[in-house]
Chains A and B, each alone.
Chain A
Amino acid sequence: QVQLQESGPGLVKPSETLSLTCTVSGGSISPYYWGWMRQPPGKGLEFLGYVYYSGSTSYNPSLKSRVAVSLDTPKSQFSLKLTSLTAADTAVYYCARAVDSNPFDIWGQGTMVTVSS
């Protein structure tokens, strides 16, 4: 059974870069999409971006200049980088998996990231 686990810092300073990693266990990287979503406290879900197992990527245009998602297939991991952080980036960050032409069906438990000095 496939499981996803996010890891990374819980506290980041404004203007810095957030780096999160999602480790995939119990399954293969291919042929799936691997994505990142976030949820500010008390608010709804926002799609950030995804990487396909082939390496192609797609991002939310509202964040496109600040976000990057990459894949490390040998380690069964994929990562999120988000630059120029502000307090508005404080949220629970989720990683998730999708099959082609399907929604994200398997999600990690989420990791809380606070942006504060």
Chain B
Amino acid sequence: EIVLTQSPGTLSLSPGERATLSCRASQTVRRSYLAWYQQKPGQAPRLLMYDASSRATGIADRFSGSGSGTDFTLTISRLEPEDFAVYYCNQYGTPPVTFGQGTRLEIK
């Protein structure tokens, strides 16, 4: 199975700053079938990005995704207070579906 490794484990930033989250795959993600989810405490994951760079319905344009092959990035251009959460990458191109271990984005 494809192992996804996210870095950093925790990112401490202030509102208004730019956040860059990384996801590295153990092998090529087929067709860039890479998604990003946001999860807040006590809530289900919310889909942010799919196909590496497409925003899901209703997602603010301060969220952007990039990458291909084995290296992917989620960027939040200017952090809002509601963006502080845990973020997971997910590949759905090669069975079984796998998730990264998560990056916690916390307020500095």
Contacts and interface: CB of A to CB of B under 8 A. Distances in A.
A105 B44 CA distance: 11
Number of chain A interface residues as a range: 20 to 34
Contact of A108 (B44, B56, B88): B44
B64 interface: no
Contacts of B45: 45, 94, 107
B65 interface: no
A94 B90 CA distance: 15
Interface residues of B, number: 23
Contacts of A94: 44-45
B1 A61 contact: yes
A103 B96 contact: no
Contacts, number: 51
Given A61-B1, A110-B44, A105 B56 contact: yes
B43 to A, nearest CB: 8
B84 interface: no
B50 A103 contact: yes
A47 B35 contact: no
Interface of B: 1, 31, 33, 35, 37, 43-47, 50, 56, 88, 90, 92, 95-102
